[in-house]
Structure 1
Amino acid sequence: MDHRGRDAVSSIVVACSPKRVWKALTDPAEVKEYSLGTNVTSTWREGDPVTYTGEWKGKAYEDKGTVLECRPNVLLRISHYSPLSGLPDLPENYHTVEYRLSARAEGTGVTIVQSNNRDDAEAEESAKLWDLVLSNLKEYLER
C-alpha cells in the first residue's frame, strides 16, 4: 500500500462574488498579478492541457497538467507536474489541485486542496505556498 502524504489545504474568504473570483483564477492576465508572476495557458475545457511558466527563486520553470473538472464559479480541478520537483514526468508524480468556491454572506470562500503529496513535509510546504497565493489573491481582489 502506497502511504502518500496528507493533502495540503488552504482557505480564505474574499469579499467579492464567486464569478469575480473565478475570473481571477482563470484569466491569465489576472493569474499573473497575484500568483508569483506565473504565466498560465489553458482553454479550461476538461481534458485540455494547462501550462504554467515563470521563474521561482531565480529558476525558470514550465509546469504542466490537465483540466480534470471545470464547473465555472464552483470548482476547478487540475493535475499538476513540476520538473522542479526533480521527479520524472510520470502519472504518480502529478499532484491534483482543486480550487473550490462557495458563496458566503461576506463574499466567497476559496479553498485549494493539493493531493498526492509525497509526504507530510511536502504537504506542509505546499500549504504554505497556497496560503501565500490565496493571501495575494484576496489582496488583489479587494484592493
Structure 2
Amino acid sequence: MIDVALAISLHAPNDAVRDEIVPINRKYNIEAFLAGVRRYLAKSNANQGRVTVEYVMLDHVNDSTDDAHQLAEVLKDTPCKINLIPWNPFPGAPYGRSSNSRVDRFSKVLMEYGFTTIVRKTRGDDIDAACGQLAGEVIDRTKRTLKKKMAGEPIKVQTV
C-alpha cells in the first residue's frame, strides 16, 4: 500500500474550460486524469482513501452553480475533499477573483452532494504572493552582493 496523500489540480468541471486554463488537459483529459487518480487511490491508504481536489475560483469562468453541479457529477466516483481557492488577481491577469457570494453558492452546491468542501483563506494577495503567484522586489543576498555592500557600492534591486 502507498502511504502518500495525493492532491490534484482540477480547476474546471469540464474539458472545454480545463483545456483553456490547464493546457495539459488537451493531452490528458479529465476522464483519463481521474481514472489515474482512482487507480492510485485503490493502492493508497493515505488521507482515508481520498484525494484532495484543488479548484481555483475564476470569476465567471468556472464558478457558477451549474459548474458546481457539473463538478459534483464528474467527481461522483472519486472519493475526495475539495479545496476552493479564491484566485489571486495581479496586474494584467486574464482572470478576476470570484465574489464571496459566488464562492459560497458553489461550495453549498458541492456540500449538498455530500462533498467535504473547504474555502481557502486568501493570504499574501496584498503583495501578489498568494497561491503560487509571486511578484515584487527581489533583493540579491549573495556573497558578491555583501562584498559590494561592504565596499559601499550600490546594490541592484530587481522587480519581477
Same fold (TM over 0.5): no
For normalisation by structure 2, the TM-score amounts to: 0.23
Name the one with the larger helix percent.
2
Q: Higher relative CO (CA 8 A, sep ≥ 6), structure 1 or 2?
A: 1
Return the structure number with greater strand share: 1
Instruction: Decide which structure has the larger Cα Rg and report it.
Output: 2
